[in-house]
Amino acid sequence: MPHRTKKSKSRTLAEAVLLLSQRVHACYPQAVMTPIEVPYTDEDLTVDVAVPDGYSIREVSDTLIRLCLEIEDALGVSILTQVSRLPHKASEAS
């Protein structure tokens, strides 16, 4: 049974990642999502969302909080996101 629980948790986490990615890219098509290098131990998923100039970091952060809360409520996972700015070179290439 422990194996089944672990697999179920892995699938739930994979579903959370997929939903978050889909929703972030629907709102911010040029966003680049990467795992936070030093993840928080009390979170199931920690992600940095980098957006190009033209987006308000505060507004993106507020949107991500709402998106994460919806996913957390639906799937029972804990998600932490942070918002950063894409380097100019990366935003110009898009």
Return the CATH number at 20.
Answer: 3.30.300
Q: What is the pLDDT of residue 54?
A: 94
Q: In what order do the strands lie in the sheet with 79-85?
A: 32-35, 45-51, 79-85
> How many domains does one find in the chain?
1
Which tokens belong to 50? 């980098």
Q: What is the pLDDT along the chain (94 residues), one digit of tens a residue?
A: 444 455 588 899 999 999 999 999 999 999 999 999 776 778 999 999 999 999 999 999 999 999 999 999 999 999 999 999 998 764 454 4
Q: Is 78 within 8 Å of 72 (Cβ atoms)? A: yes
Q: Which domain holds residue 10?
A: 2-93
Q: What is the per-residue pLDDT for 13? A: 92
Q: At which residue do the structure tokens 């629907």 appear?
A: 26
For residue 3, what pLDDT is reported? 47
Q: Please tell me the predicted confidence (pLDDT) of residue 5.
A: 54
- Which pLDDT score, from 0 to 100, does residue 7 have? 58
